[in-house]
Structure 1
């Protein structure tokens, strides 16, 4: 299943989270039948409304890690995300590998993205682009009141035939306390809507925001 490019069982995730430096949220130990559902790289006028409709149908909530330049371009979509009770979080200004961005630029653009998002609601979390980070990035984020969130299960729709297998693989692996990362934000990822629908139907767990999972 090529489209699921990270698929860790919970014990492996625990070991990995202890081995890597820094305060990064990968999962939560809980007995509640819930997992955090997160979406990267939005908002997008085609993919995001479809996701909101599916979430509404399932009574699910999610955290949307939004890209600053796309927030500027699609303010009404962000308004809809928040109006329907979902959480917004910081995914930097552009869809790129944050670890390659110079430290001063990272600091400036992290703050800029938060300022854009704070017009819609509180911002607690950030996710580095492509999931890679340096300790300095975590220190900078902490100074700005943000904590890094990665994930237990990560998948990306590509628009190819493999998209149809993503939800089944995720549903078989997700556990209470998992953090699932899906990707939207481009037309070729529009299959994420069907993936989300199938995952929510098959997982046997309730999807919540990161803040609700932590709380």
Structure 2
């Protein structure tokens, strides 16, 4: 039984190891101006968080990031920005980047075109007093050409990622960091989710992830910092 368990875990690790390069390969075939990863040999990756800010998760994440001397990009939801402006200020005070994740935690592809345009502009307006806004990430990571054109008109570029995970408050959360570290490599963009009490396990996930990757010589940076290292830029 132990042997079969070891073989099963080895197969799972192999699949996780190839997940990231598979996403890179597929993204190259999609004719759209979306940042999925960066071609770089520098020992860095971009760490990003969706769906904040929230008093249940954001302060803990900022403490962990400070302790590891890591930087991140927070893709923030407009309604939560309005509810917790002090947390947005804390994010930027910590040297982190803020980005647009639309007005509500919903699937952006289902939002009517006029509303999407208004919501995108409104969230940028809410965030700009705290710092420059360059990036947006559609809700649920699904985009359309129309959405990308609207974003470009507002001088925003879409950012997705090569490795995505979400804490849900269940036993599976304990393996998130280990599963991610198998695939992270220079230029990866990692997507984690915060924004609610159910997701407060993201704090421990981030702590474990950063500690393990530091042991491999990899540091977390903002999307802006990673994009500046793109060999094609």
Global fold match (TM > 0.5): yes
Q: Secondary structure at the match of 1:64?
A: strand
Aligned length: 211
Structure-1-length-normalised TM-score: 0.95
Where in structure 2 are the equivalents of 1:192-203 lying within 5 Å?
Answer: 192-203=202-213
Q: Compare the two structures and name the one with the higher helix fraction.
A: 2
CA deviations over 1:124-164 (Å, ceiling 9, x no partner): 00000000010000000001000000000000000001100
Q: Distance in 1 between matches of 2:67 and 2:21?
A: 32
Q: What's the offset of the Cα at 1:7?
A: 8.1
Gaps of 5+ in 1: none
- Distance in 2, Cα, partners of 1:50 & 1:68: 20
Report deviation, 1:119: 1.0
In structure 1, the residue matched to 2:223 is: 210
Contact 1:36–1:178 (Cα < 8 Å) also in 2: yes
Taking the aligned partners of 2:220 and 2:28, their CA distance within structure 1 comes to 25
Q: Which runs of 5+ in 2 are unaligned?
A: 1-8, 10-15, 229-233
Give the TM-score normalised by the residue count of structure 2: 0.88
Of 53, 63, 66, the match for 2:63: 53
Q: What's the CA shift string for 1:55-85, capped at 9, x where partnerless?
A: 0000000000000000000000000000010
CA separation of 1:106 and 1:145: change in aligned 2, threshold 3 A: same
Q: Aligned-residue CA RMSD in angstroms?
A: 1.4
